[in-house]
Amino acid sequence: MTSQHPHILNAQTAVVVVVDMQEPFFQPIFEKERVLDNVRLLMEGANILDVPILLTTQYASRMGGVLPQIEALLPAPQPPLDKLCFSCYADPGFADEIARLDRHQALLCGIETHICVSQTAHGLLAAGYQPHVVVDAVSSRTEANWRLGLEKMRQSGVILASVESALYEMMHEAGTPQFRQMLELVKRAAAHDKQVHS
C-alpha cells in the first residue's frame, strides 16, 4: 500500500462519535430527517468496516436516551457515555474511552453543530487528535448556527467530510466484499433520498 495523506481517514485509526442524538434535542433540528438518515448511513458503513462507534448523551437522566433508530445500529449493546459538559472530550469517561480505543481520527456526527459538536471537535484538536466533522450528518436548530458551527471548526483546523467521502476513504479500495456491501448501502440510501425528495 502506498502512503496516503495524513488527513485521509483510515478504518484502522478512526472512531465514529455520535453526539447527543436524543429526542428533545432532535425534534427542533434543521433538516432533522437528513441528519438522522446520514448518521444511520455512517453507522451502518462503520459497522461494515469494523470501525468502533461511541454514542454520547447530554444529561440523560433529564433529557432521555439516544433515539432507538440510532441505538439499534450498534454492533453490540453498549451504554452511551453520558455527560454534563458540552464538549464530549471534557468528560473524563469519554476522554478515557477514546484513549483506550487508541484511535487518533474521530469522525463526529450528531447535534448540535455549533455547541456540542464544535466544542468536542475543538477539545479533541487541542488534545492532539484529528477530528473530522461529517457536514451532512450534523445540524443545529437553525441553518445559520449549523453553518456558523461548521465555519468556526473549519477555521480552527477541523477537517470537514461528507458521509460518502468518509466511508470511501476508510474503505480505501474497490473489489472487496466490504466494497460490495458498501455499494449496496450507498445505493439504498440514494434511492431512499430520491424517494423522500420526489
User: Which among 101, 106, 122, 109 has a CA at the least distance from the CA of 162?
Assistant: 109
**Collapsing DSSP states into helix, strand and coil, what is residue 140?**
coil
In a domain, 7, yes or no: no
| CA atoms of 136 and 160, how far apart (whole Å) | 10
In a domain, 5, yes or no: no
Which amino acid is present at 24? P
| CATH code, 158 | 3.40.50.850
Beta bridge partners of residue 133, listed in sequence order: 108, 160
Q: Hey, CA dihedral for 81, 84, 89, 92, is it positive or negative?
A: negative
In a domain, 2, yes or no: no
Residue with cell 456558523: 148
Which amino acid is present at 6? P
Inter-CA distances, 60 with 8, 63, 64, Å: 34, 5, 5
Give me the pLDDT at residue 50, please: 94
Question: Mind telling me the catalytic residues?
Answer: 20, 83, 116
Give me the pLDDT at residue 194, please: 63
Give me the pLDDT at residue 197, please: 59
Task: Take residue 83 and report the three cell numbers written for it.
Answer: 455527560
In a domain, 1, yes or no: no
Beta bridge partners of residue 66, listed in sequence order: 22
- Contact at 8 Å (CB) between 11 and 49? yes
Give me the pLDDT at residue 171, please: 86
| CA atoms of 127 and 120, how far apart (whole Å) | 11
In a domain, 170, yes or no: yes
Q: Hey, CA dihedral for 96, 101, 106, 111, is it positive or negative?
A: negative
- Contact at 8 Å (CB) between 40 and 67? no
Give me the pLDDT at residue 172, please: 81
Task: Take residue 101 and report the three cell numbers written for it.
Answer: 480505543
Q: What is the residue range of 159's domain?
A: 14-197
Domain count, the chain: 1
Q: Which residues of the chain fall below pLDDT 50? A: none
- Contact at 8 Å (CB) between 145 and 112? yes
